[in-house]
Structure 1
């Protein structure tokens, strides 16, 4: 599921500052990047399954490998993991309301923090 119109998708920010803020909210980048893109994930293990809140971005200046990049954030996603196929974000997925609300809160808080240093 996409979290449309959060305001994050309009923001640009320094990669290192983003890494710090995302980590505060349990969103980790780890090895999920290439030279032009970053992905921050937070895993939720519930009785209904395993879900991931995913915040993504792409470099508009510099590159991720050098840790000197300006990242344009994209629309946040929530997906459900299916072993061994991966994460599905489709409209047909059923996401627990409490999880959706928790993710919206995290997105709002991240946005509030990023606004302080957005470019």
Structure 2
């Protein structure tokens, strides 16, 4: 995990507004959300190791399962997960195996993040900041 500095940290927004801005950029709300916290995830790569830009958020007014919730953004970070690779008896990767691999525990849940992904993550966060923070 590599924490990233961001002008968005500790800023408060409507979750609906954030979704309207971030989903067209490829972000999804990660499946590991709870009633009071969640993550915007952007998959940067999935060539054997999954690299994500993750922006955590916490509900400050309301609950994530109700419309109108307001959230506070936390420190974004880069995350890498390396999953077991599977292949079928003919030696080629199988779609079914890949589908199940996404639900298995990673073989390395905190993979080292290469410098190129750190640089890309910083550039992506700059773009997100420019989209989310109103210009003066």
TM-score normalized by the length of structure 2: 0.71
- Give the gaps of 5 or more residues in structure 2: 84-103
Q: Equivalents in 2 of 1:50, 1:77: separation in Å?
A: 14
Where 2:3 maps in the other structure, the secondary structure is coil
- Which residue in 1 is equivalent to 2:3? 2
TM-score normalized by the length of structure 1: 0.80
Q: How many residues align?
A: 113
Query: Which of 1 and 2 has higher RCO (CA within 8 Å, sep 6+)?
Result: 1
Based on CA coordinates, which of the two structures has the bigger radius of gyration? 2
RMSD: 2.2
- Give the gaps of 5 or more residues in structure 1: none
What are the residue-to-residue correspondences of 1:46-57 with 2, within 5 Å?
A: 47=47, 49-57=49-57
Higher mean alpha-carbon deviation, 93-102 vs 9-18, is at 93-102
Structure 2 residue 102 is the aligned partner of structure 1 residue 101 = no
